[in-house]
Structure 1
């Protein structure tokens, strides 16, 4: 806070606001907001959860372990319930990735890190396309679209689905163009015929992309993905955002409910030592497999281009006391 010249940062207000509005069993639980000895340090107090999925998958891969299909289905159902709940409450997460998904010792998945989340409305306003960590960023964002909605989170869910199955990132691009090329090479290059409005996107107007005519996703997951699973993944990774499946619809897909193996009960998940129990305090995530950093949500609010100066329903003072000298009311 000592670096802030204009009071409490709007991005932090937005993060707290969306976290509190989005409370759900599969979303990190906010207990309170507290301050340190004076007002220059403010903390969000949340429940402790033992693992983040990214670090856990790295540890499992080193031991040549992977999630069973029943475990993948359970994780996906919990993720879909969380994101569907956010979307039902008009919240976009805008940074879904495995390192922002936490897993407890009792097999409960929780979505965390709401630093880029924001409320949205209808009709849609123009927002910055520089959101979502690169490997999980939807093609419409990579191609410069400023009007977007819940479909950007759905794309991230599809990429996470592939990562849970393969135990490695699905599209680990080194730059935005490299990311697009990796997506096009795997799924085929889009066109105006399958994605109306594609030719009008800013990046498409000034870039010539290599033509990849075929979708190779089935070959990549042939040993791990049934026909129904492949259909679901293609619904997540549909180019045209208006045709992409919603999280609520995906929850009822046959892949989860009418084929073996069934999702396992969360309590049946195996347990692993928590990162905090690592006696040497050494990070167990390999640097080459770390996703790039997410776009900055708090550093330069004006650069984000989201012209929403008010946070509806959020103000300080007059509320129940949540910490020394700091009051909140919603």
Structure 2
């Protein structure tokens, strides 16, 4: 027997998969357009809907921004839930590594502006994404950027709560998370945006390592190994060790960031400041001279 979703959607093709669901493209006979469908299987009556799916549902219903992927509909069936999204052409990972052409600087600037505008909107509405990476940033048929996959996103309020450090894909993970700070906040999204900025321009990750300690040491080699003198309270973080190698750090340069001009380099350096207190906010980043001619 066909389900309601089988009747509604035709020409269904698998285009991806995640931690709790498979993503398809299909023609929606109700909305009369191509859509993306995320199918979430219900594991059983006792377990119910996965918490990541519930979180994504509740947050996306409250978010309305041109640079955040639009949730068009929710279809509930006995064994699964279908989330119906606007369909996008590809993600940033494809554009960086599979498109075979360098992304023009003017397009990188526009993509970064759209990314920061979406993150500014999220932060202003008490939400941080916690899993920003090229795979979760989509480009639609009008070449407009859309932030997607809010499965790890959280609403926040003051005072800040304790959060898990098992968030954000390794190369985009901020140092406070790697050091075990459970009271991290919105600067982790800015760090991830900064690393994505470098990757868009240079077609390679900035902190490319295979382990958490490898990424952490690469960060220390750039910024210097932190102490309580340079980052108040850092030595109390769970994974901090006084046995860490003592690096002095070095200045970012146009030589090491060859595809940046001086303004792009300055913005990048402010987005990946070691101490989250010193990291630029999304609002401040959008006022940076780098975006003057957008």
Taking structure 2 as the reference length, what is the TM-score of the superposition?
0.81
Measure the CA separation in 1 of the matches of 2:218 and 2:249: 13
Match of residue 228, structure 1, among 263, 274, 278: 263
- Equivalences, count: 253
Distance 1:138 1:222, change over 3 A: closer
Offset at residue 185 of structure 1 (A):
2.1
Answer yes or no: is 1:49 the counterpart of 2:85: no
Matching of residues 102-251 of structure 1 within 5 Å? 102-204=138-240, 206=241, 208-251=243-286
Offset at residue 6 of structure 1 (A):
3.6
Number of the residue aligned with 1:20? 61
Answer yes or no: is 1:84 the counterpart of 2:120: yes
CA contact (8 A) 1:15 1:114 kept: yes
Considering Cα pairs closer than 8 Å and 6+ residues apart, tell me whether 1 or 2 has the greater RCO.
Answer: 1
CA contact (8 A) 1:187 1:217 kept: no
Number of the residue aligned with 1:58? 97
Q: Note the alpha carbon deviations across 1:98-133, whole angstroms, 9 max, x for none.
A: 111101232200001111011111110111111111
Offset at residue 11 of structure 1 (A):
2.8
Measure the CA separation in 2 of the matches of 1:13 and 1:190: 38
Matching of residues 90-105 of structure 1 within 5 Å? 90-105=126-141
Distance 1:100 1:156, change over 3 A: same
Number of the residue aligned with 1:256? 291
Structure 1: segments with no counterpart, 5+ residues: 264-330
CA contact (8 A) 1:49 1:102 kept: yes
CA contact (8 A) 2:254 2:261 kept: no
Structure 2: segments with no counterpart, 5+ residues: 1-41
Answer yes or no: is 1:75 the counterpart of 2:116: no
- Partner SS, residue 78 of structure 2: coil
